[in-house]
Amino acid sequence: MAQQLFTRDTQAIFWNNNKTAIQRMLDYDYTIKRETPSVAAIVAPTSGNKFEKFFFGPDEVMIPLFKTTADAKAAQPQADALLNFASFRTAYDVTMEALNLGGFKSIMITAEGIPERLARGMNEFARSKGVIVIGPATVGAITPGAFKIANIGGTIENIVNSKLHRAGSCGLVTRSGGLFNELSNIISINADGIAEGVAIGGDRFVGSVFIDNLLRMEQNPNVKYMLLLGEVGGVEEYKVIEAIKAGKLTKPIIAWCIGTIAKYYDSGVQFGHAGASANDERETADAKNAAMRKAGIHVPGSFNDIPEIISAVYHDLHAQGIIKDIKEPHMNICPKIRRSKEFICTISDDRGDEATYAGFPISSVATPDTGKGIGDVISLLWFKKQYPKWATDFIETVLKTVADHGPAVSGAHNAKVTARAGKSVVESLVTGLLTIGPRFGGAIDGAAKYFKYADDNGLDPKAFLKYMKGEGVPIPGIGHRIKSLKNPDLRVTGLMNYATEHFPSTPLLDYARTVEQLTTSKKENLILNVDGTIGILMVDMWRALGYSEKEINEFIESGTLNAFFIVGRSIGFIGHVLDEKRLAMPMYRHPMDDILYDVPVAEKI
């Protein structure tokens, strides 16, 4: 049997996106300086979101959302506590699914009023699987300094007041959630706080009962004495008495059963929880209190005398040296006022004396004496890294290379036509930019994607060609209108020479060259063109800079390669627009004789 319910590494899957309760858990985590949030995933069957934002101290963290427990468990297999916040209608199904999935050590169920027969079956099934069930109808459990379930302990201020942020020496077990909190407070005032606490739940049939929790606490070296708060109804307290008699419980126990008033009324008056109803004399609070007192348990005269008895037991154990003084740990303080941010910015900051690019003041990269160029600015603002000079020079080379390709290409043409319609520079520019896509400029993306795919999967050039044929697309980055190996594109030659000389290595380019050998053997102009070379060398650059293949794939998928083309070609487009303005060219109308008119009369349908 595990000695402790939870550790500082315990993580939970939270079933139902109960934001207040989850936030309370993360506030607790921050306060006790946990390294990981105690909630690893949230199951929200009807949500379309992928993440939910929460505060972690002053910062915010994203916790992933899943539609099913199975998905959440697959993504976060280390999370071995399920916090089942489903309603009484679905709580049973959620628990049974989790038990069948396996991998959970504990399941907490908050719903009150699960059908009794279902609850009994569920509790028994969990027991057979060795899973600790806390609840149903509970506020949860806590291992101070390690992990707390949902709302137990209340606000973070109350938690610190009640010393629930670090382990004390009492093991606390109650039925009631509200009185759990009250007793934590009383224990913190009269002793040194609790080492572990469980509110077992108010329903008639709960999973782990008093004795299960006390036996675990008996094994927990942090627990020096235990406090049990029972209620009228049921016979669970007698199991504790049996365990004491059998020598299975040896630590001092303080206990009290509430509901002594019930004896004055007939069974028609239901005091407290569903489980709180005496079916015979043995189940009354008075009988249980008397029996526990007889068994050597410290039983006060009334609830009001509990503080006194706690103080006495604690000081006795302290005097014996069994309980040592606790050095109060340092803790974080959660900021009182936090507002969730609408936007997140991780690249630049204009709040200080001088605005910065990824931490560098603009003046430190702007003027020529800084030795920094536009490649450095891009590396800071796009990638939040300081790239080495060979890489920033390469980026600049790319921008310069793609800056323009004459007035006839469709992007430049569109920009020119718009400028001649009397539109402004920005309007004309974006008309040109909007042309960029899969056919215009897109070959850079495509080349990087497909060549990288072939290289990653170890396809030889022949297999790659076959694969591309299967995809039904020409290989992006291969082919030129007029250039060939014999009549090379000097832009390409320049890029390749630079890379060969300055890159630490160029594995993807080397691979692409073997593909080029094969394609040019079929047709002379099927060379690696400038788009293909840029895409491929960008991948080689990132590889040499130490990015993982996953990160590089994300760059490709997010359109980062296209971005280089967009920035570079904007220079050319603006040039064409200014050219039109300078020439004051009139509105353009396409010559009609350049259009094939073929317009049949529409058929009636």
Catalytically annotated residues: 273
Binding mask 361-400 for another protein (x = CB under 8 A): ----------------------------------------
Cα 453 from Cα 476, distance rounded (Å): 13
Least distance (Å) between residue 228 CB and another protein: 13
Cα 228 from Cα 214, distance rounded (Å): 9
From 1-9, 121-129, 455-463, 580-588, span contacting another protein (CB under 8 A):
121-129
Q: Which of residues 237-266 bind another protein (CB under 8 A)?
A: 258-261, 264-265
Neighbours of 481 (CB within 10 A): 6
Nearest residue (CB) to another protein, 72 versus 310? 310
Give the sign of the dihedral formed by CA 292, CA 296, CA 302, CA 305: negative
* Contact yes or no for 476/446 (Cβ under 8 A): yes
Nearest residue (CB) to another protein, 117 versus 466? 117
Question: Looking at 231, 376, 445, 580, which residue binds another protein (CB under 8 A)?
Answer: 231
DSSP state of 438: T
Q: What is the largest CA-CA distance in the chain?
A: 112
> Which region, left, alpha or beta, applies to residue 335 given φ > 0 means left and ψ of -120 to 50 means alpha?
beta
Least distance (Å) between residue 177 CB and another protein: 6
* Contact yes or no for 171/313 (Cβ under 8 A): no
Cα 158 from Cα 184, distance rounded (Å): 10
Nearest residue (CB) to another protein, 13 versus 111? 111
Q: Which residues contact 172 (CB under 8 A, 6 or more apart)?
A: 180, 183, 184, 187, 194, 196, 197, 198, 226, 227, 229
Binding mask 305-344 for another protein (x = CB under 8 A): --x-------------------------------------
User: Under rule CB under 8 A, how many of the chain's residues touch another protein?
Assistant: 64
Least distance (Å) between residue 265 CB and another protein: 7
Nearest residue (CB) to another protein, 149 versus 530? 149
Neighbours of 538 (CB within 10 A): 26
Least distance (Å) between residue 172 CB and another protein: 13
Question: Looking at 116, 349, 456, 510, which residue binds another protein (CB under 8 A)?
Answer: 116
What are the angstrom distances between the C-alpha of 574 and each of 95, 435, 567, 584? 63, 14, 11, 15
Q: Does residue 136 have a cis peptide bond before it, meaning omega lies within 30 degrees of 0?
A: yes
Cα 190 from Cα 315, distance rounded (Å): 9
Nearest residue (CB) to another protein, 86 versus 475? 86
From 226-234, 246-254, 480-488, 510-518, span contacting another protein (CB under 8 A):
226-234
Tokens of 146: 């390690």
Nearest residue (CB) to another protein, 262 versus 499? 262
Least distance (Å) between residue 64 CB and another protein: 24
Cα 308 from Cα 132, distance rounded (Å): 32
Binding mask 5-24 for another protein (x = CB under 8 A): ---------------xx--x
From 111-119, 215-223, 492-500, 508-516, span contacting another protein (CB under 8 A):
111-119
From 108-116, 212-220, 418-426, 521-529, span contacting another protein (CB under 8 A):
108-116
Cα 395 from Cα 563, distance rounded (Å): 11
Tokens of 366: 């702007």
Least distance (Å) between residue 21 CB and another protein: 7
Neighbours of 13 (CB within 10 A): 25
Q: Which of residues 128-187 bind another protein (CB under 8 A)?
A: 128, 139, 151-155, 158, 161-162, 174-182, 185-186
Gyration radius from the chain CA atoms: 36
Least distance (Å) between residue 68 CB and another protein: 22
Least distance (Å) between residue 115 CB and another protein: 4
Cα 526 from Cα 479, distance rounded (Å): 4
Question: Looking at 64, 105, 303, 374, which residue binds another protein (CB under 8 A)?
Answer: 303
Helices (H), 52-176: 69-75, 91-101, 116-128, 156-161
Q: What is the amino acid identity at position 569?
A: R
Scan for tokens 């920005």, then name that residue. Answer: 426
* Contact yes or no for 61/37 (Cβ under 8 A): yes
Nearest residue (CB) to another protein, 275 versus 446? 275
Q: Which of residues 75-104 bind another protein (CB under 8 A)?
A: 88-89
Nearest residue (CB) to another protein, 145 versus 153? 153
Least distance (Å) between residue 119 CB and another protein: 8
Nearest residue (CB) to another protein, 117 versus 341? 117
Cα 114 from Cα 92, distance rounded (Å): 7
Residues at the interface with another protein (CB under 8 A):
20-21, 24, 88-89, 112-118, 120-121, 124-125, 128, 139, 151-155, 158, 161-162, 174-182, 185-186, 202-204, 229, 231-232, 235, 258-261, 264-265, 268-274, 276-277, 285, 302-304, 307
